[in-house]
Amino acid sequence: MAKSRANFVCQNCGAVSNRWQGKCESCGEWNSIVEEGASSGIGAQAARGARKGRVFALEGLAGESRAAPRIISGIGELDRVTGGGFVPGSVILIGGEPGIGKSTLLIQACATLADRGHRVVYISGEEAVAQVRLRAERLGLAKSPVELAAETSVEDITTTLLEGKRPALVVIDSIQTMWTESVDSTPGTVTQVRGAAQALIRYAKSTGATVILVGHVTKDGQIAGPRVVEHMVDAVVSFEGDGGHHFRILRAVKNRFGPTDEIGVFEMTGAGLCEVTNPSALFLSGRDASAPGAAVFAGMEGTRPVLVEIQALVAPTALGTPRRAVVGWDQSRLSMIIAVLEAHAGLRLGQHDVYLNVAGGLRISEPAADLAAAAALVSSLTGAILPKDCVYFGELALSGSIRPVAHAASRLKEATKLGFGSAVAPSATKEAGDSTAISINGCGHISALVADIAAAGAQSRRGSSTKERPRQAVVAAS
């Protein structure tokens, strides 16, 4: 009889090897390889014997197509991220750090749908039913007809859900706690997570119920478990936020039924998560427009224009190697902008510490923020105060030129709606501003931006010194 051979599977990336080793050769993670039986590995189905296939019909590209029906959750920001509501039969994977508000948001969505007459089931694998009820009582949702259960067996869950009316929404919190009998492995391992997710996806596709899987995240902010689960589901949503801020960002990373990179903004309050319909006004609230080093960036998050303040602090350093600290932006992008400012604008930042912060806890990834970050750095270095009614956007090239960015008209329209009267943008953006009341200052090279900010700073210093002389003369005369 042939001896069964075990597989060694990396719990971080899912790579399979025939021997144990301390470091995974695929992802480079240490101490992440776990021994699993051959009956639960990738070749398990082939080892059990394959059944004879069946012939299925093939269709052409031409044909009638209809828009997917939607189930409106009643939470506008959640519907925006999902593309207009939940698609029946779809599977959504939502990830976020512990305590960020994933369970709170899902309980609110479940209660809203249940109050509208839909059958909603909430399966918790981490908390007892009493704990879920306590959260619902704190949110004032205890009277909503949401069906609860604390279960981790996938077979028991699917069998129970098949009884009675088909549910419109099923929440599994979380996928790392689920286990299936078809896989011989401990819960939480790569093989169990993949097997449990596959069983729940099969249930959603066969019945038409929408299934939401809650996933844990690693220390790097990535959803824990094998990456193949993200490819299996229809949508991947990330719930972001900072414990020091009340804002929470729901971001669509993948969506087969809607746009990607769409965001929904929530505010954490004592009554749960509240929608923020105008995030630009919230991100700009309380800003100090009279301080140097602050520039307003007109950005895009999906299809939504968002205005946010970028703050910079440039201070002399006493260290041999100056510090470069960034919050809410890419640090390598900041290093590139500093190099461009030194090479093409004549600034000397090598003996200064540079700190950059995106106010409000928002994470920016688009290169259109280069111009706003450069303006904030120059303003902090020279002490010049930027105009309080001006927004900035544009991509900075290594040659120092300002490159145009997409959706310029939407950015300018959002700035006009919030009362901004001018914009510093690439020279090619002037045509997009014809339909708005905002004035556009076209900038073709970074040296022109630095010269304008330095000239404004010199003029403000001359004005302040002129006002100071009469006061000093009065003091001397007295």
pLDDT tens-digit readout, 98-151? 888 899 999 999 999 999 999 999 999 999 999 999 999 999 999 999 999 999
Q: Pick the more confident residue, 185 or 388.
A: 388
Mean pLDDT of 379-385: 93
Both structure tokens of 425: 């943008």
448 exposure class (CB count in 10 Å sphere: 0-12, 13-18, 19+) = middle
Tokens 């997009």: give the residue.
432
With residue 46 as reference, give the H or E element that holds it.
helix 44-48
Dump pLDDT digits (tens) for 62-74. Answer: 877 777 789 999 8
Look at residue 85 and tell me whether its pLDDT is greater than 70.
yes
Greatest mean pLDDT range, 2-6, 31-35, 235-239, 357-361: 235-239
Q: Residue 267 in contact with residue 276, Cβ under 8 Å?
A: yes
Structural domains of the chain ordered from first start: 7-39 (no CATH), 76-277 (3.40.50.300), 282-461 (3.30.230.10)
Q: Are 434 and 422 in contact (CB under 8 A)?
A: no
Cβ pair 307, 284 in contact under 8 A: yes
Q: Is the pLDDT of residue 172 over 70?
A: yes
Tell me which amino acid residue 106 is: L
